[in-house]
A and B are shown apart, each in its own frame.
Chain A
């Protein structure tokens, strides 16, 4: 069973604050993803990565940076947080080969509030 761990689970910051969300997966998956979840919008892709050092831009990247330091670790950075970034953030991973590539394994989420 794939394991994806996100930290912190909850975070409160102020407008203009600097926030880093962490994600670690322990199944040697090469793809990792950051999504945000908002009522009425569902899950929207922020950034994703094929492997260590790789970064791909998703569908809602503005205001976010990401870095994939190892195969296991993927970070989402908000350098100047704004209230519009208040959301529930999910990290996910998937295998990059064949049919397994299609299954995303999600973490439990990080709830971020920007005051």
Chain B
């Protein structure tokens, strides 16, 4: 079945460091890919959507790309700040299904 794998369970960076989070996906359909962010005590919220292979999405200084050839997608930010501390989830929706499948989540901690 469809799946999304997010291997980095926890990432600790200092302010102004570069952030890179990677996910891989598996599907027989036509995926739409997303990044969601969850701040402490809140539910997840949409950060970015990427719908075209080799096309970038961007929001709040974050940038997302996806590579259809390697079935992987990435979230990056050039210079993280303390306010970026959160859990980041990659997710996939198959074109033919009404459900969203999430990765395991990456907890980002920023040292001031």
Binding site for B on A (CB under 8 A): 4, 31, 33, 35, 40-45, 48, 50, 56, 58-59, 90, 92, 96, 99, 101-109
Contact = CB atoms under 8 A, between A and B. Distances in A.
Nearest to B90: A42
Nearest to A50: B98
B13 to A, nearest CB: 20
A42 B98 contact: no
A100 to B, nearest CB: 11
Given A40-B9, A56-B98, A102-B32, A107 B93 contact: no
A42 B43 contact: no
Contact of B98 (A35, A40, A48, A109): A48
Given A104-B44, A105-B45, 13 more contacts: A42-B6, A42-B89, A42-B104, A43-B105, A44-B102, A45-B100, A56-B99, A101-B98, A103-B46, A103-B49, A104-B100, A106-B44, A109-B43
B105 A102 contact: no
Contacts of B53: none
Nearest to A96: B98
A59 B9 contact: no
A103 B41 CA distance: 20
A50 B99 CA distance: 10
Contacts, number: 55
26 contacts: A4-B43, A40-B104, A42-B6, A42-B103, A43-B102, A43-B105, A48-B98, A50-B98, A56-B98, A58-B99, A92-B43, A96-B98, A99-B49, A101-B98, A102-B32, A102-B49, A102-B100, A103-B46, A103-B49, A104-B36, A104-B44, A104-B100, A106-B43, A106-B45, A107-B43, A108-B41
Report the interface size class on chain B: 20 to 34
Nearest to B102: A43
A92 B89 CA distance: 15
* Interface-central residue, B41, B43, B98, by most chain A CB under 10 Å: B43
A108 B42 CA distance: 5
B34 interface: yes
A45 B101 contact: yes
